[in-house]
Structure 1
Amino acid sequence: MGHPEQIEGPEAAKPPLRVGMVGYAFMGAAHSQGWRTVGRVFDLPLRPVLAAICGRDDAAVRAAADRHGWASAETDWRALVARDDIDLVDICTPGDSHAEIALAALAAGKHVLCEKPLANTVAEASAMAVAAEEAAERGQLTMVGFNYRRLPATALARRMVAEGRIGALRHVRVSYLQDWLVDPSFPLTWRLRREHAGSGALGDLGAHIVDLAQYLAGERLAGVSALTETFVRRRPLPAGPTSGLAAGAVAGTGEVTVDDAAVFTGRFASGALASFEATRYATGRKNALRIELNGERGSLSFDLERLNELAFHDGTEPGTHAGFRRILVTEPDHPYVEAWWPPGHGLGYEHSFVHQARDLVHAVAERRAPEPSFEDGLQVQRVLAAVEESAEKNSVYTPIVF
């Protein structure tokens, strides 16, 4: 079982924020890092306490509790939600359980942090948003875990757009490329099954880039036109608790029921145009998220593989010496950086989860609605649904006549 630290001095006097987390795999580890680290780096109004972690496999979840510093472990999320020593429930499970856990946690009087995408369907996300609005009247707060908002470079980009540094927005182009499905022998895990994941690359990666594009632009998409594709339609059946399939499953193959890639265009409410690409079949690309915003006065560009940098072109400068310049986002007056290292000492992927925890702790202490809200998550879900609907309509191509 986990071994919580003995807190002494000024930290011990701070009111606790007792966190219970459901899920302990990749996102569970990332969120644990955030909760475990945030109070050591930032001066917080509340003291995060890693009270309990939950997973179905007793031995695995107890090992996760020990590894990540959680004080106790549960094997039933309902038991975790019902505990009196939990103030906030952090949901890091597959999408098919988000709505049920979140609704139960809100009914039990807890604050809720839910990983993206908010749910697997618009109906589920809508029910969660309604429950969150009702819970807010009781003082309970909700937030969706779109962590890429909380990199110093993307937060700086949002600030610069809001300040008018690129003027009226004209174009946004964004892609999120991975390659972990290129091998056709990769097994049929839960991420490749609609009943668990909701969608494939669209929900897994597309949710991130839709949210990031809207966040940086400061406006929402008004319409989309899309294509999706599933390149490998059957995969080997795995077995075991992490697969979503029954233990001892007979060797063979199963149908992939989600998309492998999605390409779509969009139009923002202002009339600005956008293009999106999300795929898990970009051979050689591990976690390549890129976004560029072009405005009437300038442009901004960000690449997750160089996450401490932001590229900015000031279109008002004379053409003789104008061009994109690199901003190294490590100065103490850059977003989030004041608590970390001296200038030039970069941060990494895991720091976005520390910043996520920081912002949520402050919101709880100040009793103000955090962002992104469940309503924001619902809006992203509506975009994903519109992409799927458009892709179904566009499944028959217009032939090109030579």
Structure 2
Amino acid sequence: MRSDMGKLKIGGKSRAVSTKSSDAESPSDTIPDDEPDSVFATLRSFYNSQLSSSNSTDPLLTPSGGFNYSSPSSLARIMSLYTGRGGYGKKDQARTTPMRESADPSEGLRVLDTSSDTEAIERMRNQGWISTASIAQQAEQKHPSRFVDDLRPTQVLLRTKRSKRCRICRHILVKPEAKVQSTRFRIRLVALNYIPTISLKPLQPAPSTQLPLIDLNALPPLRASQFLLTLKNPLFDPVKITLATPSHTPGRPSHKVTILCPQFDIGPHMDQWDEALGDPKSRRSSKMFNLSKVEYAGGDGGKIAEAGKVWEKGRNWTTVVVEVVCADVTESEETAEDGDVLEIPVFVRMDWEAEVEREEDAGGGKGEERKEKRELAYWAVVGIGKVGRLDGFV
């Protein structure tokens, strides 16, 4: 991928590539002037061969032909290539043959051409500012590129895999695998493992009341509609929930919202084995609130939502009633982007007591268990549906 990108210019034009044969060198096999990488590679190969031929028995020479610059005597050995004196106290040391410089383009020689500046000025004069590369584009390039046509595609930089810890308890939240080619996580604790799951469905009026059913795609304006808000606890500790919402939704139009029971408790979550071995009553109450089941309120002998009381409660979930009075949506608000969408901001606060790990006492035994009060608060936006026009309900 990287080699293929290096062969292209902006616009898909392929750049010139040198085809030098290993058996023989021809005058036509020259390195283009606009290829600094090829020129540097050829020049480096030439000087490595010169260093090896000048003093092939030097122990400081590496297998690639370069010098081991980490040795303190490397500078003296390099100077001995030109002076013939190694500086080791030996006056009768053999003089080595000085290595020569590159003599032609096939050896990496690059002669300065002053006419290139004149051509660049003339090109800028004819093509204008639009053909010149910006400072940001030049900063992303490996080599200086004055014009847009000289830019090379840049590859995406690799990113380091990092682990994330909680700032309070220092527990590992995210830990990816060490393999470079793997995108999987060894540890990934998402927020859904700690915050309650929120679900909502309409509370339909009883058929005996002869009121139309609530349609989430066309909510009735200027009339109270009730919804069932269910929160499911994912923690293994009972929690106390406090809900809060503005009396009127922000923005235009403004809808009136009321939570009939803003404070309630939710039981702890249990493993499947604990649930299966429990009593039948707890197993029946542990079933999750069914969103597909239609709930009715009012009518003859029907259940009526009351302020301060929960609608229904299970082992690790609780349902409360939210009453909404939708405002009349004007034509201009309906044509605006999401102007007829009803969304309720809800502030959720959790309080619970979590068990703290036992600390060893002075005798080396386990200490007493203790609980620590914890609190978690966050904002959530609950989408309900779309508000219909008033003329459609008259």
TM-score, length basis structure 1? 0.20
Higher RCO structure, 1 or 2 (CA under 8 Å, sep 6+) = 1
Q: Which has the higher helix share?
A: 1
